[in-house]
Copies of this chain bind each other. A is one copy, B any other.
Amino acid sequence: MTEPLPLFPTAQAPPSGQVDLTLTVTEERPRLRADAARNRTRLLEVAAELAAERGIGNVTMEAVATAAKVGKGTVFRRFGDRAGLMLALLDHHEQQLQTAFLTGPPPLGPDAPAAERLRAFGPAIIRHERAHRDLYLAAHGDLARHYSSPANHLRLGHLALLLRQLKAPGDIELVAHTLLGYLGTLLADHLLTQRGMSVERLAAGWYDLVERLGAAG
């Protein structure tokens, strides 16, 4: 229980302006006051800690507030609601994944051919979501928000980019949505745990999907 790492840098990662893709507006956040920023990181640290020791599902907003020695109102002011806190927690892991396919090594990163990257994308997402399963489930409590989340938007843009590079036919944005839908946390989880499918089968399904939807017209 000693504090090992300086995770959760004070400010949100600055928008790395590269891939814009003109799909949505990247909301700008107005910079926090010093004490607020301090509290923000404390809250995230504490929340992660509590989640680790008792499972994210058993972490109440009040508990987080108390453990971080702030009022409950502060937590809500900062994160909006429970899903917001979860999203913020998730954000950290999400960024790891993002760098993996934005700037990482092949086959995920930009040095591999588009078809390769597209193939690799699916299993990477599924693995990642499995690793942080409960957090994803908790965060997507409000599913409506999910589709507008920066993370999802980024994935979408990435897929659209690859599809365009492949000269895939049809309505690219819709095809990208279809592909992302296949990788959705809840669907994948359902297929794996309820229907007892193997990760390999899901991966094979993905390869097939990509081949049929990504093939040039």
Contact = CB atoms under 8 A, between A and B. Distances in A.
B190 A144 contact: yes
Interface residues of A, number: 30
B194 A148 contact: yes
Contact of A171 (B146, B187, B205): B205
A125 to B, nearest CB: 14
Interface in A168-191: 170-171, 174-175, 177-178, 181-182, 184, 186-187, 189-191
How often does this chain occur in the complex, in copies? 2
B170 A208 contact: yes
Contact of A190 (B147, B186, B205): B147
A60 to B, nearest CB: 19
A33 interface: no
A137 B146 CA distance: 14
A140 interface: yes
